[in-house]
A and B are shown apart, each in its own frame.
Chain A
Amino acid sequence: MKKLDRNQMAARVARDIPEGSYVNLGIGLPTLVADHLPKGREIILHSENGVLGIGPKPAPGAEDEDLINAGKEPVTLLAGGAYFHHADSFAMIRGRHLDVAVLGAFQVSVAGDLANWHTGGADAIPAVGGAMDLAMGAKQVLVMMEHLTKKGESKIVQRCSYPLTGARCVDRIYTDLAIIDVKPDGLHVVEMVEGLSFDELQRLTGVPLKRLATAA
């Protein structure tokens, strides 16, 4: 089978984001989606710290300390972009104005529960940022993650063992092996990578999957 690499995953997510969407890309893997948005499609990127209309990375030497994204990386502003304060920024999220949030995850459950902020380890210092607001507020929550942990365990689980970010909030999961929709009646496989059979995906995933007619 041909597993997708990080950039291929990002490109696959980017392909599904329609023109005119207001989109928040989470820290880490989801940030890569920005580099793969189809040229000519106007998509407006939001960042929690108070900006809409994020443009490409600045050229080396042209960074501005006052213009950063939620990952604290330097960014640029497109013509038409806007700045606003934090309460407005989260009104956009919590108030259901944001069309899409793309988030990383440790685990997603069959019910669409998301765990992505805290391992719960005794020595771990927890940090949550805007993850819980995005999980509850975005009209559509897309998760982007590797299908398996480094130990080969499925990150799609019956019940999350890590502390939850939000319950029943995930709409679709993009992994390096498949695209899976979370629906009230279970997980529906929408797409699989080349050379992967449904039976093999089912064996790796562990929780029951449904096969869509369109998925080979």
Chain B
Amino acid sequence: MFDKTFASPEAALADIPDGATIMIGGFGNAGMPAALIDALIAQGARELTIVNNNAGNADTGLAALIAAKRVRKILCSFPRQADSWHFDRAYRAGEIQLELVPQGTLAERIRAAGAGIGAFYTPTGFGTLLAEGKETRRIGDRDHVLEYPVHADYALIKADRADRWGNLVYRKTARNFAPIMASAARCTVVQVREIVALGALDPEAVVTPGIFVKRVVRIGSSLRKAA
């Protein structure tokens, strides 16, 4: 039987080595795989390169990983927020490298990796600090910047439901980066609220086909109750 389910987050993340590049899904807290990040902190891998839209909020999840000094470098579009104090401190202390990427370029670099694209030209960022040193080309009547894909060793994402083949559906805007990250990593690990029988997910509505997913762990709902 072909079964991608793992009994625990610890088991699903046991082989992550020091120095790995890890994509972490989520936009702020929506879609952040908190249980997987907690397990990653407990697992102990160091010198990580992290790909996420942000650089952690408050004291949990990615912020806790940064506070535990496990992150050597982060690729993101929006690190600075009112509650990004762990990143702010590590960045100012020179403990963490930042590669700042426009959000759409970050998404497309991730998508390109998953789709086997060698590089692409985008008008975004032309003539700005974030395109300094990059190749450019005028295509039609617009200037473009050459951008390369971002690959990862692992992607840690959160979905709502999965089956044992790794087909996924998400919940509302918690989907955000998860489907493209799933395709861009060599090993994609998913935490889900529920694992259902094969055939229970409507094949017309599967968002991430199981081919992009290696490991599935049921965590149950981590949604905070409305205040």
Which positions in A face B, CB cutoff 8 Å?
47-51, 61-68, 70, 72, 77, 83-87, 89-90, 93-94, 118, 123, 125-133, 136-137, 163-167
**Known contacts A49-B27, A50-B173, A66-B171, A87 near B111 by CB under 8 Å:** yes
Contact of A68 among B27, B53, B77, B107 (CB under 8 A): B27
Is there contact, CB below 8 Å, between B103 and A128? yes
Which positions in B face A, CB cutoff 8 Å?
27-31, 53, 77-81, 87-88, 91-92, 98, 100-105, 107-108, 110-111, 122-130, 170-180, 207, 223-224, 226-227
Give the nearest-CB partner of B158 in chain A.
A66
**Known contacts A90-B103, A90-B107, A166-B128, A63 near B172 by CB under 8 Å:** no
B172 to chain A, nearest CB (A): 4
A91 to chain B, nearest CB (A): 8
B224 proximity list for chain A (CB < 8 A):
65
Give the nearest-CB partner of A69 in chain B.
B173
A51 proximity list for chain B (CB < 8 A):
172-173
From B30, B124, B129, name the one whose CB has the most chain A CB atoms within 10 angstroms. B124
B79 proximity list for chain A (CB < 8 A):
125-127
Give the nearest-CB partner of B82 in chain A.
A72
Is there contact, CB below 8 Å, between B226 and A133? no
Is there contact, CB below 8 Å, between B223 and A85? no
* Interface Cβ pair total, 8 Å cutoff: 150
Is there contact, CB below 8 Å, between A137 and B124? yes
- List 22 A–B pairs whose Cβ atoms lie within 8 Å, in order of A's numbering: A47-B173, A48-B104, A49-B30, A66-B30, A66-B172, A66-B173, A68-B28, A70-B27, A72-B27, A86-B53, A87-B108, A87-B110, A90-B103, A94-B123, A125-B98, A129-B103, A130-B102, A132-B104, A132-B125, A166-B128, A167-B126, A167-B127
**Known contacts A66-B173, A87-B110, A137 near B28 by CB under 8 Å:** no
A58 to B174 CA separation, bound complex (whole angstroms): 17
Contact of B170 among A49, A83, A165 (CB under 8 A): A83
B124 to chain A, nearest CB (A): 5
Give the nearest-CB partner of B222 in chain A.
A65
A128 proximity list for chain B (CB < 8 A):
77-78, 100-103, 130
**Known contacts A62-B226, A127-B77, A89 near B107 by CB under 8 Å:** yes
A166 proximity list for chain B (CB < 8 A):
126-128
A86 proximity list for chain B (CB < 8 A):
27, 53, 103, 107, 110, 176-177, 180
Is there contact, CB below 8 Å, between A49 and B173? yes
**Known contacts A64-B172, A66-B172, A127-B77, A85 near B105 by CB under 8 Å:** no
A163 to B111 CA separation, bound complex (whole angstroms): 28
Is there contact, CB below 8 Å, between A118 and B27? no
